[in-house]
Structures are given as structure tokens and as C-alpha cells.
Chain A
Amino acid sequence: MTSKVTTEVLEKGTKQTKTILQIPQKQKSKIYYNKKAESEFFVDNSALAGFTGERILYMSVRELIENSLDSCEINHILPVIQLSLKLLDPLNDLWTISCKDNGIGIPSDKVPVAVCSFLTSGKYVEKQQRGLFGVGLKMIAAFSTKDTDHPLKVWSKSEEESEYYFDLRTDIGTNKPITLFKKSVKNDESQIEGESGFKVEAILRAKLSPVTKNKIYDYISQTSIVNPYAIIIFETDEGKVTFKRRTQIMPNPSREVLPHPSDMDLKTLKKAIFNFMNQKTTLQGILSNSFQKMSNDKAKDIINRAGLTVKPADQYDEHELIKVVNICKHTKFQSPNTDHLSPIGEKILTVGMTSEYSIILNKETSTSGSQTHLSAKILKPSLTAYSSRICIVNNRPTIVECGIAYGGDIPSFKLYRFANKIPLLYDEGSDVAREVISEVGINKMGISKKDVKEQFSNVETRSDRTVEYLPIHIFFHICSTKIPYKTAGKESIASEGDLKKYMKSCLSDLYRKVSAQIRRELKIKEDENKLRLYKHYIPFIVNAISESIKIDSKKLSKAFQNLAEKYVSGELSNIAKQIFPDSDHKRVEPGNKKNTVNNDNGNENKLSKFDTRSSVSVSKQSNKIKPAKINIPHKITKK
């Protein structure tokens, strides 16, 4: 974690006591009561932090990028992140992972603990943050120490300090950093170009399956969607991809916020009192200063209702304090603030959606075997839309953001989920966003499954939902000080409180916004299909006619093509021109469309077709064509 470090926590954490209790002789076996160091605990239970065999490299990439983004955004620095993942030793599955950013860096005296000591974090506050637990970077350090003899290399440059270089390892048994080497670096040796920054390089023993590798690619490209203001340079053995900065706008950083009184418990209350220890403040003062939506009067009222006598705040015992907590649970407070949250925002998400990078793997086969090359392609949709809702979920202010990108380069349906700007890539099936998509039908917006299937018949989807046949990307972002994750792996969000309701209304909003355009595009596609059909079938029809009767087949074919164009045109003249490039196509005024187009009633319609306005273009044509000789062997009267 690259943020500032609180030394207090560190000291507590490193006090290691080992007490061995001997159980009375009655029992034969002895039970030893040990205290485990945090580092040892997390290494033994690495799954808690998501570091399971397959996912070690994926989680490392994730943690490093998230730390870097947090470290930049905290001081409103436009991020430049360079991530590299390379195979060092294929025999022993050793990988070098390195990440460099231009964030605020870490003061040199705090670097060792910030990198190596578990549960040391600048993020232990009530605030919307990517990481929270002070575990990620430590996990990388511990794994590197555990599995290799390489030190962790760290370069850090924080404000008003020169750049320092460290060789670090973790003492897993004590949760203490081991500084093998430390020096101030200058000029040539300098790794950090800007005013501040942080770089870490670690050697990890891990296996990388193709599935996980794709997840890493997905993770980075999805991160770039919600962070279009960041430059992300990603390098692997397969090549280098640069996600360019597409906007200078950065979201306002999230701010720390006082807890809401509905969330009060004995621990938070005692902590609040502890914080005011040295100031002579009453309980009433502490309450109104430590919790949001708690006025002085309200605090007084609560203390009265709890029946507590006035005395110095630190004199209350737990039996008295729990009364305050209980009263608060039964008191109505205003809804919590939301202005401290940092949503992606319409502007930024729209930039992200309109310039979505997709990583492409090009397989090249040469004499030396097949090689894959990384490259990136920007998908430009034909339209995007954005909608958001502010709501309260489990007493925590939550902002739901939803975006849609449709058409253009987008090939097929995909759901993107983000929680506090982190892409969620696993367990999509059990995520609330999935339920939302199933429960909000796009069919109600006049987009029928039949039409969609007809136009996108080549789309392969396991689902039979209309929307999944469309070339559409749906984005959900939930931001909150506490995301209701379903599992410890933090990969899917549970449907808690009204969250689903708000997500559904967001999506309905968007469907309403884009449905008219989608209908229009479907119509255009249908028209294109129709023109293609005409192009393909007119020769058959013309051939059948010209073999049966004497007729100028070229003229017939041309006239038929003109007719077909006119029939489809109305809204579509330019596409018609592409398909029939050499035709002297004339666009029919939209007002006349119905008269020239509708031919469902056959004979009866023929009379009405020559109304005065549409006859301009039509009659010219018949004049032009009349001289053509049509010889019919036998005198035949019309139908």
C-alpha cells in the first residue's frame, strides 16, 4: 500500500507474544495456545485475500494497479502506470512483475512497513476506496519471500524527498520488514522521472493458465474503461500495449466521512470517546462531532432518553454506552451524505465507453514456431447513454451508475461490472447485475426478439434474452463505503436492500434512452438486408422473365433495382448508393414514401400510386423506359 502509514498500528501488530499454557494432567495431549503473526496468518490463509494458486499473478496485477490509481487520485495526479509481467525462469515458474506509477510515493522511513507489514494501511477510514485492508502489496512481498530468494525491489519518491531504493524481504514469522539494502538514488540510477512516484518489482513463483492470462488482459482493459484519464502501459512477453489518456478530467477524490449513527456500535462509540480523550468534551459534544446527521440537540435528546447522568465522557461504562447505541438504532436520522463518494461520472464513463480498448492476440506462425503478439483496438460504439441513482443500501450511501454502449465496432453483448472502480471479472452468474439484466426486458421498448434475432442471426449466445443478441455493452458501477460483496473473494455483489431496485430503474432509464436509436438501427439493418436480398434475387427474377418473354433484360434489371432502392430508400439513400453504385438513384421525398412504397394490396394500390407528388420521379422513369420494345408472343391483357 503506497499510502501513508500509521506507526501505531505497526507497533501493535509487531508485538508478538507466545504463551504456552499447560493443560492439567488429566488430559494426555497438550494444547498450545499460540499467537500468530499477521503475516503468517495471511500467508497460511492466502485465499482470504484472493491469492490462490491459479490467481496469484492476477491478484498481484490487480493489487498493484489499484494501489497505483489510489496513490495518484488522492492528490489529483493524472496517473501514468507502467505494468510489466514477464516470465523469468520457465523451469521454476518464476515471474517478474513490476509496477511503476507517478503517485504520491511513500515517505522513505515508512517504505519497509508499508510494503512488508500486514494490516498497515493509510486506508483505515470510512471512505470509498479501492483497497481497504492493507494486505495486497504485503501479500506480494510475503509470497516473494516465501517462494524465492530474491528481494523485493522498491523505488519511492515522495513529496520533498529524494528518490530512495530498497531491497526488502518480509519476516513472515514476525510481520516485520527486513531491509536488506537502502540507498538514496540520483541521476543515472533514478527510476522515477516525475516529482513523486513509486515502483516495485517482485519475483513470484506462479503458474499462468491461458484463462487467467485472459482475465489479466480483461482486468487491465476494463480498468482503462473507468479510468480513461490514466495512461496504462502494459508489457508482457507477448508484447506491449499502451492505453492512452483519453481525457484530462479526473473524478473528485472520495473523502473521509463520519459514520452514520445507525451504524453505531460499542466499538465505534468507544473509539469516538477515545479520540476526544484529551479534550474536555461532553458525551453530547463527542456524539455530534463524531457522527454525521447528529445535531447537538439530537445528541442531547439521545443521552436523555438513555437516562444517563452528566459526567466526563470517559467515565461512562459499557453498560451505559450500550444504551446510547440501542437508542440510536431506534431513532430516525436523515439519510447519510453522499457527496463524499466518488462516482465515475457521466463525462468520464462516456469517454471510457466511447473509446473502449480491447486487447487482441494475434497469432503468428513463423519458422521458429507460433507466436502471439499483443495489440489493442479501440471499439467505437454508435451510441452511448448514462444514468445514475443515489441510494442508501444497508445505511451506507451508495451510488449506482449504469452505462450502455451500442453498435458500431461492438460485436456482441457483454456485461461489465465495477465496484468502487474495480472491475469484477469472476462469478458474473451470481451477481446482482445479472439478475437486473434478466428482469428488465428491452422487449417492452418496442424491440422485439424476433426482429433482433433476424438481424443478428449470426450472434452466438447461451441466453435467449433479446438484449443478449444485440451488439451492446452494459456497464454497472456501484460505489459505496461498503460494497455488499457476496463472498470474501470480492468478485460479485449481492442483491441487498434496495440496490437491485435502483439498478433496475437505472437500466430501464437507459433502455428508454437508447431504444429509439436501436429501433432505428434495426430498421437500417433490415433495410440493408432487404437491399442485399434485392441485389441477390433480382437476377433470378429478371432471368425468369426474360427467358419466358422477349424483354430487354438489362433495362428490366436496372428498372427493378431502381424500384427496389426507392422502395427501401426514404431513410436510407446513402446505403442504397453503395450497393448499386452506378444507378442514377433519385431520392424520394419522405412524404411520398408511403405512396410509392406500400404495395401490399396489389391492384387496388396501383391506382393510388400515381399521386401528384410522387409522380415526378416515377413518371420520368416510365417515360424513359417506354420506348423499350416489349414483344409478347400473344396478346395478353392485364391481370
Chain B
Amino acid sequence: MALKDKRHQEITNKIRKIMKNVGDDILVEGIMPSLEIPKVGYDNTVWSDEKRMLTIGEKTVQVGPNSSKKIPTFAQYLVMANAIRKLLDEEMESTIRGMYYATLSTVGDENNQQKFWNGQDDSDDAIKAIELLTNVPREEFSVTSKPKGMISGPITLSVGGDLIDCNLGSRATSQLIPTNIRDLEIVKVKADFVMVVEKDTVLNNIRKSGFIQKYNAILLTGSGEPDRATRMMVKMLNEKWKMPVVIFADADPWGLGIALRYKIGSESLSYDSDRLVTPNSKVLGMMFSDIYEYNIPKVARLAATPEDLNRANDMKKKPWLQDKRWKKELNLFLERKEKCELDAFFKYGFKYLADTYLPNKLREAGVI
């Protein structure tokens, strides 16, 4: 516990330093305070050849109370920073939703009353800003999100000292991946590889089929967009426990995006790639070409929406997706305008996905 305290002190000192700077600007220097925050987004996302992942660039934004738009934002950031400091001082932990509630307030007088936050998105953004300002990931603030990642297979975790064996003999359930990662440790791994799938429904199907036992695999899912804990778990298994990682997502631009989150990172979390991205992982499917290779019946294919097409066109333009393989896949999608979910294999029988498609793909990739 002593070690933890020290880290907490480091972080609260960082926050106090920010407060002091703002106070000095106003009191001593008599100037408008301003916070310099690294810019997050496409135009400040840089591909690193060395790290093989997306990283954040040099650009920054100034947030100070100098425009009608920024006055509330500036106040929100300071209020959130203070709330995080309190949380750490009190040795408590909270979800991002909890932080939203802890800082809820109204602004203004009777004639002109507004909400301090327009919604949780605002407070989430403020938490992100404090991460960027302090260069500390929010898990170290003891601020987490609701767990939604799931794991199954021959792995034992320790959460705050409690051992959790994920190799559940019943095949009936999976373990949630805890989000309070500072309390989480991997104790034992006895698998040959790690397979990440996009959705929990697909994971359940594969688990039920006995895939884990047959191929000695760990199954993981982020249940859609993976949270940070899931991404970190994948990275840890790959880099610390030397597990090969393969990823399967739906054959649509959304699914491809999710698969790539694990492998190369994302624009919105580019500042945290070092903790979250697993560059050695392999995205094996479902490829757009698989729709035709496995001759998915027409009824199981879905028509691409205009949104899908925009997304695919956007992806094609990203400098980090210029790899021939991705271009070919995206072009195929844009040409055929068809997408497909992994669940489509159920059309060939409930066991086809786990018994035929996945082993084929894994064999092709030399994983089994």
C-alpha cells in the first residue's frame, strides 16, 4: 500500500502544480491562464514505423477562459482535476460515470441556469484532458469504466489478491475482464495462443463448441469496441506471456476498425498506444474476400449502408492503411458493397464457425 500512496502523491502533486500555475497566472502575473493539452484526433495522429502503431504527434491546443466556448471547458477541466485529486486523496475509486455524478452541478442564476455538464460525454472528455495534462492514464487515477471485456480459457488472474480461474470446465460462462487494472495480475497462463473475437455472442458459440479444450486457446472479446482493460490484457498476454494473438471481427468497416484497434491503436487514444496496442497480433478475419471464398449465402450478406461506404473510403485514405492487403480488401468491399457478420457462418450449422472456418484460418496463418 505504501507504494501506491507514493504514486498517488505523484499524481496529486501534478494536479496541484496545474492549479498553482493557473493561480499564479491570475494572481501574480495578471494574465489569462491557459492549459496546454496535446491535441487528440486524426490531424495529430502519427504512424510510428519503429513501434508499428499509431502515436500522438506534437500538436497541442490551448484551453484557457478566453472565449465563450472555452470558459466552461476550462472550468470543467479544473473541476474534474480537483475531483480526481479528491478521489486519490481519499484512496477511493470510481467509474467514469461516478466522476460525472460527483461533479454534477448547475451554473448561473435563476434567469440563466444551465447544467455544468451537458452529459457524460463532457465529463469523459474532461477526464481525458486530465490524462493528457498529467500524462497519467486514468486507471492510475482510480477512474475506470464498467467492465465489458470477457475472457475464457486456461488462464488464472489475481484481482486484488483473489484468484480467478478462467478455465471454467462448464463451458457455460466467461469471466469479465476487470477494469481496475492496477489491482489485476496475470498469475498463470497455460495456453498455446490467444484468440480475440469482436462480439460476445460469437465468443459464447466458440466456447460452447469446445474450441478452448481442443486447441488450448484463450478466448477474449471486447464486446464490440474494446475497453482499455481488454486491450491491455491482450498486449500483456502477447508481450509478457509471449502468446501469439489472432483477431477475428465482422467483415464490415466497423469490424475491421475494431480489429485494428488491437493491432495498431486508434486516433482517439493515440496518446496511450504504448499501453494498449499489440502490434504483433494478427488480424485473420473475417476478410471481405472470405464472403466469396466461403460462398456465404446471399441471404446472410448485408447491403452496405452509405455510412459503411464513407467509413471505408475514409479508411482507404489513412496513411497507415496503405498496406496492399487492406487496400485490396477495402476495394473489394467498395466494389461489391456487401458486408457480413461472423454469425453468418451459423447458416452452415452452429458448429461450422468453430469447427471449420476458424481452424482453417488458423492453419493458413500457421498458428495451429
**Chain A residues at the B interface, C-beta cutoff of 8 Å:** 454, 526, 529-530, 532-534, 536-537, 540-541, 543-545, 547-549, 551, 555-556, 559-560, 563-564, 567, 597, 599-603, 605-606, 609, 618-619, 621-622, 625-626, 628, 630, 632-634, 636, 638-639
Contacts and interface: CB of A to CB of B under 8 A. Distances in A.
Contacts of B286: none
A537 B27 contact: no
Contacts of B64: 599-600, 602
B85 interface: yes
A533 to B, nearest CB: 4
A630 B23 contact: yes
Contacts of A536: 107-109, 112
Contact of A606 (B22, B26, B29): B29
A544 B19 contact: yes
B13 interface: yes
Contacts of B27: 551, 555-556, 559, 622, 625, 628, 630
Contacts of A454: 68
B299 interface: no
B21 interface: yes
Nearest to A526: B68
Interface string B77-104: 0110110011000000000000000000
Interface of B: 13, 15-17, 19-32, 34, 36, 62, 64-68, 71-72, 74-75, 78-79, 81-82, 85-86, 105, 107-109, 112, 116
A639 B29 CA distance: 14
A558 to B, nearest CB: 10
A548 B15 contact: yes
Contacts of A636: 13, 16-17, 20-21
Contact of A599 (B21, B31, B85): B31
B29 A548 contact: no
B16 A530 contact: no
A467 to B, nearest CB: 22
What DSSP secondary structure best describes chain A's contact surface? helix
A619 B30 CA distance: 8
Contact of B32 (A551, A563, A622): A563
B68 A634 contact: no
26 contacts: A529-B68, A533-B71, A534-B65, A541-B78, A544-B19, A544-B75, A544-B81, A548-B19, A551-B23, A551-B27, A556-B23, A563-B30, A563-B32, A597-B66, A599-B31, A601-B62, A602-B64, A606-B31, A609-B31, A625-B30, A632-B16, A634-B13, A634-B16, A636-B13, A636-B16, A638-B24
A541 B62 contact: no
Contacts of B20: 549, 630, 632, 636
A567 B25 CA distance: 14
Contact of A537 (B62, B75, B85, B112): B75
The main secondary structure of chain B at its interface with chain A is helix
A621 B19 contact: no
A636 to B, nearest CB: 4
A560 B21 CA distance: 14
B75 A545 contact: no
Nearest to A626: B28
B299 to A, nearest CB: 44
Nearest to A530: B68
B36 A545 contact: no
Contact of A532 (B17, B26, B112): B112
Contacts of B112: 532, 536
Given A618-B30, A639-B36, A541 B81 contact: no
Given A548-B81, A551-B23, A556-B27, A541 B16 contact: no
A603 to B, nearest CB: 7
Contacts of A622: 27-30
Given A549-B19, A600-B66, A540 B31 contact: no
Contacts of A601: 62
Contacts of A540: 75, 78-79, 105, 107, 116
Given A560-B26, A619-B30, A625-B28, 10 more contacts: A537-B72, A537-B75, A541-B22, A544-B79, A545-B82, A547-B82, A559-B27, A630-B20, A636-B13, A638-B21
Contacts of A545: 19, 22-23, 78, 82
Given A622-B28, A634-B13, A638-B24, A564 B78 contact: no
Contacts of A605: 31
B82 A533 contact: no
Nearest to A634: B13
A567 B66 contact: yes
Contacts of A618: 30
B76 to A, nearest CB: 8
Contacts of A609: 29, 31
Contact of A534 (B23, B36, B71, B109): B71
B129 to A, nearest CB: 13
Contacts of A555: 27
B72 A533 contact: yes
A540 B15 CA distance: 16
A593 to B, nearest CB: 13
B137 to A, nearest CB: 21
A630 B19 CA distance: 12
Contacts of B108: 532, 536
A621 B13 CA distance: 29
Nearest to B34: A602
B16 A633 contact: yes
A564 B20 CA distance: 19
A522 to B, nearest CB: 12
Q: Give me the 6 closest cross-chain CB pairs, A-B, nearest first.
A: A599-B32, A544-B82, A544-B78, A537-B75, A548-B19, A602-B34
A548 B62 contact: no
A559 B17 CA distance: 19
